Amino acid sequence: MESIVVKGGRKLSGEVIIDGAKNSALPLIAATLLAENGSCCLDNVPDLRDINTIIRLLEGMGAVVQRQGRRLEIKTTAVDNCQAPYELVKTMRASILVLGPLLARFGQARVSLPGGCAIGARPVNLHIKGLEMMGAKISVEHGYIIGQAECLTGADITFDVTTVTGTENLIMAAVLADGVTTLRNAAREPEIVDLAAFLRKMGAQIEGEGTHTVTITGVEKLSAAEYQVMPDRIEAGTFMVAAGISGGDVVIKNAPLAAMGSVVTKLQEIGLKIEPLTTYKEDDLLTGVAVRVSRGAEGLRGLDIKTMPYPGFPTDMQAQAMVLLALADGTSVISETVFENRFMHVFELQRMGVDIEVEGRTAIVRGVAMLSGAPVMASDLRASAGLVLAGLAAEGETVMSRVYHLDRGYAGFEKKLRSLGADIRRVEEN
Ligand code: UD1
């Protein structure tokens, strides 16, 4: 088991390049299951544990996957085993993304139910309900979702709750269905726009992605295509916080600024200076630009944040923002409306001197002048990033264990921070 050791107090400076988005690459890789001929090529795929997991899932089904750096070539023409086993699904909930494509192309799927999850119940009932409305017969047996469909048919589906992977799964099911599918109250995340752009290159007919109503007209078949994964807006936001919390001055390259509106606005209100160095179009969510981030002269100010589905403030940036607010003047209130149990990092942060009180889904953060390094334990992916950020600003040494959470979603995180001047290293635990 590995740990990350951070000695706080260094001001970060220099340049960092943002990788491809994990939450985009995962559905794009699942979507390659829909290609009846040829090999799909995906560029800018980040080197992450979750990406390795979905590659292993596809290989287990009979896909041939070749990786060269950030480029993946995936051939799914010989897939003959429509199963996603528990051993892999339990390590990554997003494995559920293969359910829609498998049913659409092969008319069958056997996908393990994702188990309990550290950040809340996170059910997949809406994925299942939508597929049933499209004509799939679905049962749950021995912990597995068993799906069958002679032919999926278009349907008019309204989500009770906005779900990102649920929207992606149903789009991928609908592209080969008979007729038109309308998804209402759909999620609007930029990663869904990225998925739709790839599917369209494969031959799909999709309209309205990025809005609450997505319309998909089924086609006979899809073919392989080449595509470049959009940059990771959460990684970019995390580095913005790193620059601000350390009092540094960092150029972040390949940040999808147009997709980061709520994050940029909040970080600026807290007191970060965020200056785009290249021009960008406000409606181009998928392209990265260079941006310079530093702490403004007036210091950090507390404020309130409520996590919401896109375009609101992302729950995946909540832990990182909390750490910045922990060092801001005044009291801040953070409301977590997306997941019911996403404050587990609070108890670790308290050990570092953060003054926080949690009441249900609300955290009240009173700013302090200094944090103190401590041994801490990561509880989930974004919490682990928050703990490292706290370590950058803390006096003394912070040792974070359970680093595998971080490796699920940040490619070379400590290497990138070290290149910016942070005193951070990875060690083998005794
Ligand atoms: C995705 C992201 C994750 C992010 C989350 C919210 C990926 C791979 N992961 O996760 O990083 O934190 O969006 O932005 O893109 N829900 C139901 N029934 C369902 C599905 C969801 O009740 O069938 C609820 C969930 O419990 C949760 C809310 O809907 O309260 C939103 O979850 P959802 O958008 O589905 O999250 P994920 O797609 O799993």
SS (H, E, C) 68-87: ECCEEEEECCCCCCCEECHH
Per-residue pLDDT at 174 exceeds 90: yes
> How much is the average pLDDT of 73-84?
97
- For ligand 1, is residue 11 a contact (CB within 6 Å)? no
* Numbers of helices and strands, H then E, in the chain: 14, 24
Q: Whose CA is nearest to atom 35 of ligand 1?
A: 163
- For ligand 1, is residue 122 a contact (CB within 6 Å)? yes
**Phi-psi category of residue 290: left, alpha or beta, with phi > 0 → left and psi -120 to 50 → alpha:** beta
- For ligand 1, is residue 163 a contact (CB within 6 Å)? yes
Per-residue pLDDT at 284 exceeds 90: yes
pLDDT digits (tens, 9 = 90+) for 14-43: 999 999 999 999 999 999 999 999 999 999
pLDDT at 404: 92
Q: How far apart are CA 23 and CA 233, in angstroms?
A: 10
Residue 410: partners with Cβ closer than 8 Å, 6 or more residues away = 48, 235, 238, 381, 385
> How much is the average pLDDT of 54-79?
97
Beta strands in 230-386 (DSSP E): 249-255, 272-276, 289-295, 305-307, 331-336, 355-359, 362-366, 375-377
pLDDT at 330: 97
Q: What is the pTM of this model?
A: 0.97
pLDDT digits (tens, 9 = 90+) for 201-224: 999 999 999 999 999 999 999 999
pLDDT at 340: 84
Q: How far is the CA of 76 from the centre of ligand 1 (A)?
A: 27
- For ligand 1, is residue 94 a contact (CB within 6 Å)? yes
> How much is the average pLDDT of 104-114?
95
pLDDT digits (tens, 9 = 90+) for 353-399: 999 999 999 999 999 999 999 999 998 999 999 999 999 999 999 99
Catalytic residue among 40, 82, 117, 151, which? Answer: 117
pLDDT at 295: 95
Per-residue pLDDT at 119 exceeds 90: no
Backbone Cα Rg of the chain: 21
pLDDT band with cut points at 50, 70 and 90 for residue 1? confident
**What sign results for the dihedral spanned by CA atoms 348, 352, 354, 357?**
positive
3-class secondary structure, 225: coil
- For ligand 1, is residue 125 a contact (CB within 6 Å)? yes
Q: Measured from the CA of 93, which atom of ligand 1 is nearest?
A: 39
pLDDT digits (tens, 9 = 90+) for 290-348: 999 999 999 999 999 999 999 999 999 999 999 999 999 999 999 999 998 889 899 99
Say whether 117 is catalytic.
Answer: yes
Mode of pairing for the β-strands spanning 64-68 and 331-336: unpaired
